[in-house]
Amino acid sequence: MAHGASAHDRLTSERYFALVDQGVLQPDDRVELLEGVVVAMAPSNPSHASAIARVDRALRVALGPDAVIRVQLSFVAGATSVPEPDVAVVPGTYADYDERHPTTALVVIEVADTSLAQDRLTKSAIYAAAGVPDYCIVNVRDHVVEVYRRPDAEARRYHELRVHGRGERVALTAFPDASLAVDDLLPGG
């Protein structure tokens, strides 16, 4: 549990959204709910922002216009977690999310520099528990893409990790005909 919060101090996703409705949290506040704790999101530096734009573009090219791709928007990943992944591909159509946030995702991609430890530990557990089949970390610090697969929701962990470097491609479980070039995702290449 983050920051020493007891189980009864942790916020639920419903209470988190109520704080927005009540004006305690503003919709444009750079926060997310992780394991029942409201966590400030780090400001985006140029390489982080560039990588997010690159991931978004690469996914749109690889998956086509019908894929529902969400950039830095809420994903209800469980009763106590509402992360805002850098990029998520969710099932259905854009209209499916006019009245609610997605509760499942086909692919989640986080761009990591200063957030690398949190993305590998806390967010990996959250996304595994939510059953996200492909969780990718675009690791701009080490110039690689870490791909986590085979989620075990009960154990809150992924059973497979593959690290892809420049010159390689990342396959996507939910989209067997699509893949992403690592070079297209990393800045400076």
Distance, CA of 100 to chain centre: 17
The whole-angstrom separation of Cα 51 and Cα 49 is 5
Contact between 111 and 86 under an 8 Å Cβ cutoff? The reply is yes
The whole-angstrom separation of Cα 27 and Cα 139 is 28
Each residue's pLDDT tens digit, 26-73: 878 899 999 999 999 888 889 999 999 999 999 999 999 889 999 999
Residues 6+ apart with CB under 8 A from 135: 107, 108, 109, 110, 123, 124, 127, 128, 147, 148, 149, 151, 158
What are the domain boundaries of the chain?
43-185
Question: Any idea which fold 43-185 has?
Answer: tt1808, chain A (3.90.1570)
pTM, 2 dp: 0.93
Each residue's pLDDT tens digit, 75-120: 999 999 999 999 999 999 999 999 999 999 999 999 998 889 999 9
